Structure 1
Amino acid sequence: MNAQAKPSLLAKFGDRYAVDPNKMFETLKATAFKQRDGSAPSNEQMMALLVVADQYRLNPFTREIYAFPDKQNGIVPVVGVDGWSRIINGHPEFDGMEFRYSDALVTPPGASAPSHEWVECVMYRKDRGRPIVVREYLDEVYRAPFKEGMKGPWQTHTKRFLRHKAMIQCARLAFGFVGIFDEDEAGRIAEQSERDMGAAQVVREQAKALPACPEEQIEKYAAVVESGQRPAEQIISMLQTRYELTPGQRSALLEVATTQGDQA
């Protein structure tokens, strides 16, 4: 007898929320997973988000999970604080948590009030003899205002955001939660992606802007190679940062080195 076929991912979600799977798919596209520019994610991106939501049994309709676009047309699955709290409390081995705070207070740039220098999260598992402890330092996670004179959540709710950071990082170590991020992390991922793209563009533009290497330079450095002061490979590497070398120019320098070696 054939094994009963497993329901599709869409069917599972439809059954869970008692809605038609196709209608649910389109509704999520237009609501929970709608992008900031108003566009809907692709079907492939939607399925990736639903896989994560299903893995952690997160409810996208209550914003326990939502989509954050990166700069390379990708999607970062973001789990809100309520979502993190629910999957932590829903883990069968979870046995409570507590927080510890530094006595020292600091006021980072732009913050509305002083905050703890660090926060520790302590999580207990039923199957472990010792708790998992993670300390998060404010100076390592604090985000300055996006624009001068404007205040974001890190400026208005510094203590709360630092506590959230400690809880999330501790949960990752305690229960192995992977592939999900909070919004702050997703924003940093997008920023890094944008910086990487910008750096790559600068490299491409610089490469295009390199002038042709004058023959006088080749003759000058050929004499340097011939005298044994510097090897040809080093000369070629140096020149390539300033000029666009032709294959013939590289060969000329290498031939000088070869001739010098034969005469040695």
Structure 2
Amino acid sequence: MGSMVLANVAKRFEIEPAQFEATLRATVIPTGCNNEQFTAFLMVANEYKLNPITKEIYAFPGKGGGIQPIVSIDGWLKIINRQEGFDGMEYEDKLDGNGNLISVTCRIFHKSRSRATEVTEYMSECRRETDVWKRWPARMLRHKATIQCARYAFGLSGIMDEDEYQRMEDTKRTEKPVSGVVVEASPNFYPQEQFEENFPKWRSAIESGRFTPEHVIKMASAKGLLSEQQIQIITECK
């Protein structure tokens, strides 16, 4: 599966797979990234047709090692503009009596819908004590509203921006009451027993044409990280 995804993504950029992998590992992939993590990164890039070289998607170093695929705001805007039926978006800022930004509302219009999809994000909920939020609070809140509205409007899932990932990692961190050592949550792998139980149903769905291998992989990956061998087994059901 890894080689197939690599070949598909490399083909879009008209470059040999081996050279493409070497380029990514030398420029945008952190050291310590194993083959499974690299494949997962490519799967996300391939699913949403994003360019890693131009930082539409990039590999963010995980605090516990490995990487997390992160979609930049440029990547999100590319995904939004490519959606069938997309008919533009608009923003509305709400200020308090002192001119401070309270919230940003994003509206996304769809050609087949009579009403726009609308999402409001609030500064009091979103602002963090990080350098980027201190320097560009209005821009960051606009990005948050854009991303959340896109999720509602187009049902996008399985991708996040860097700010969301950092928030998620912060909530994962727990302290041991005795030693005070901060530990990281280990990745959740898809249980082999559950895989063997579900695989016959997946194979039947693929062979009947109801699902593609890629759809099954995406669906299963939402419940746990698939091993390279598990991915290969699903892919061969064609």
**Same topology, TM > 0.5:** yes
Q: Distance in 2 between matches of 1:17 and 1:96?
A: 28
Deviations 1:211-255, CA, capped at 9 Å, x for gaps: xxxxxxxxxxxxxxxxxxxxxxxxxxxxxxxxxxxxxxxxxxxxx
Q: Where do 5+ consecutive residues of structure 2 fail to align?
A: 181-238
Q: CA deviation at 1:130?
A: 1.0
2:43 to 24, 45, 51: 51
The alignment-based identity, stated in percent, is 42
Q: Which residue of 2 aligns with 1:180?
A: 159
For each residue in 1:64-114, what CA deviation from the matched residue of structure 2 results, as whole angstroms up to 9, or x when unmatched? 0011233333432111111111110011121110001103167xxxxxxx6
Among 106, 109, 121, the alignment partner of 1:124 is: 109
Equivalent of residue 73 in structure 1, options 42, 65, 77? 65
The offset of 1:21, in angstroms, is: 0.2
SS in 2 for 1:102: strand
Give the counterpart of 1:141 among 123, 126, 131. Answer: 126
Quote the offset at 1:26 in angstroms: 2.0
What RMSD over aligned residues (CA atoms) do the two structures have, in Å? 1.9
The DSSP-based 3-state class of the residue aligned with 2:87 is strand
CA distance in 1, matches of 2:138, 2:109: 23
Residue 135 of structure 2 is aligned to residue 156 of structure 1 = yes
Q: C-alpha distance in 2, partners of 1:105/1:21?
A: 57
Q: Structure 1 residue 176: deviation in Å? A: 1.2
CA apart distance, 1:203? 4.6
Is the radius of gyration larger for structure 1 or structure 2? 1
- TM-score normalised by L of structure 1: 0.63
AA of the residue aligned to 1:132: T
Q: Identify which range, 42-51 or 25-34, moves more after superposition.
A: 25-34
User: How far apart in 1 are the matches of 2:156 and 2:178?
Assistant: 38
Letter paired with 1:144: E
Secondary structure at the residue paired with 2:64?
coil
Does the 8 A contact of 2:106 with 2:145 survive in 1?
yes
Quote the offset at 1:33 in angstroms: 2.0
Change in 2 beyond 3 A, CA 1:105/1:11: farther
Please state whether the residue corresponding to 2:53 is helix, strand or coil. helix
2-side partners of 1:92 and 1:175: how far apart?
A: 9
SS in 2 for 1:58: coil
Q: Pick one of 4, 8, 13 that aligns with 1:12.
A: 8
Counterpart-to-counterpart distance in 2, 1:137 and 1:204: 37
Unpaired runs of 5+ residues, structure 1, are 1-6, 107-113, 146-151, 207-264
Tell me what 1:31 maps to: 27
Counterpart residue number, 2:213: none
Deviation digits for residues 20-52 of structure 1 (CA, Å, limit 9, x no counterpart):
101111211221222xxxx24111101001000
Aligned pair partner of 2:95 in 85, 100, 103: 103
Q: Tell whether the 8 Å contact from 1:77 to 1:179 is kept in structure 2 after alignment.
A: no
